[in-house]
Chains A and B, each alone.
Chain A
């Protein structure tokens, strides 16, 4: 893990700027970097771990925690451009996760499919285990719980529990391989 795009500036640069851009977060760990635009809003708690890289040069990143919501991002994560995390209840992203571009994570459907569409349905928390890789344009719907080291391919839509180390593809999702090789714990390159 701890993928750093080759064109990214060295990790010693732009930390104060990142601190400024993440100023609406409740806590920000050491060594976070933000490339490009990031949109942090909502009145909930957003906690960002250490050495997180927000690579928003492709498109802006959205971090949203509504009132009384918690959005937690673990250490050594990489979040690429265009991805948006919307927490109404709670979202937890584990250590060393990699979210590809235009990933959407939400823990509430925001509208009822039947009955009154203006009402907000009950939300169910989303959690990503450590070392999860999520491909581009994937959508994690309420109730998605990814085990440790799970791997999602592009355009996967998940709304249920996924076992650890599984390789998932498609919409509706199906398991391609039950267990991928366990990712080796690497030293962060910062």
Chain B
């Protein structure tokens, strides 16, 4: 096949969707911005689309392919001296997420976070290390009592306040939150 034919075939079969191109372009811009913002804390394929405010005096460990989305309220990451914040691979954060870490906060892989969530790991003077498992989905406005453990694959519903540990694969909803198995919710509308 001639070169022209190859080029024609490439143009025909290549995915020239406008939204896809915009997505890719935004993502590459976000990766540049991440390099600018995070400096030597930069991790592989970190993408920052919105505004992120960093006050890091302790250690911040970022996994691969983390995304901070664009929005109205900036994301704030505040890590105190001697504290550690670990974020796993493939996590995605919507706008307005604020981390306030004074002891340690561990977030697993493939977690999703909705908008305007505040995560802290202390109550007053007490330091309470908090852990989140893998595949956790935290919806808009959910919050938790510091010092709890959220199991793998758990879902925190919108606006819920979680005061007890959430077992893996459970849905926590309400204020204070009650937990129910996600398998029971499969047949629900």
Contacts and interface: CB of A to CB of B under 8 A. Distances in A.
Q: What bracket does the count of chain A residues touching chain B fall in?
A: 20 to 34
Interface string A78-90: 0000101000000
Given A59-B72, A61-B72, A117 B140 contact: no
Contacts of A109: 139
Given A60-B72, A170-B175, A171-B174, A139 B159 contact: yes
B141 A104 contact: yes
A118 B135 CA distance: 12
Contacts of B112: 111, 117
A59 to B, nearest CB: 6
The secondary-structure label for the interface of chain B is loop
B54 to A, nearest CB: 21
A62 interface: yes
Nearest to B176: A171
B123 interface: no
Contacts, number: 57
B77 interface: no
A82 B73 contact: yes
B26 interface: no
Interface in A82-138: 82, 84, 102, 104, 106, 109, 111, 113-114, 117, 137
Q: What bracket does the count of chain B residues touching chain A fall in?
A: 20 to 34
B158 A141 contact: yes
A157 interface: yes
Interface string B164-181: 000000010111000000
Nearest to A143: B189
Nearest to A102: B116
Given A139-B141, A171-B175, A157 B158 contact: yes
The secondary-structure label for the interface of chain A is loop
Given A39-B72, A155-B159, A113 B173 contact: no
Interface string B124-142: 0000000000010101110
B109 to A, nearest CB: 13
Contact of A155 (B116, B175, B182): B175
B2 interface: no
A172 interface: yes
Interface string B30-55: 00000000000000000000000000
B73 A113 contact: no
A171 B137 contact: no
A84 B71 CA distance: 10
Contacts of A113: 137, 155, 171, 182, 185
A59 B112 CA distance: 24
A172 B174 contact: yes
Nearest to B135: A117
B160 interface: yes
Contacts of B161: 171
A161 to B, nearest CB: 13
Interface of B: 71-73, 112, 115-116, 135, 137, 139-141, 155, 157-161, 171, 173-175, 182-183, 185-186
- 4 closest A-B pairs by beta carbon, nearest first, are A60-B72, A157-B159, A171-B175, A139-B159
7 contacts: A104-B140, A104-B141, A113-B137, A113-B155, A114-B182, A155-B175, A171-B175
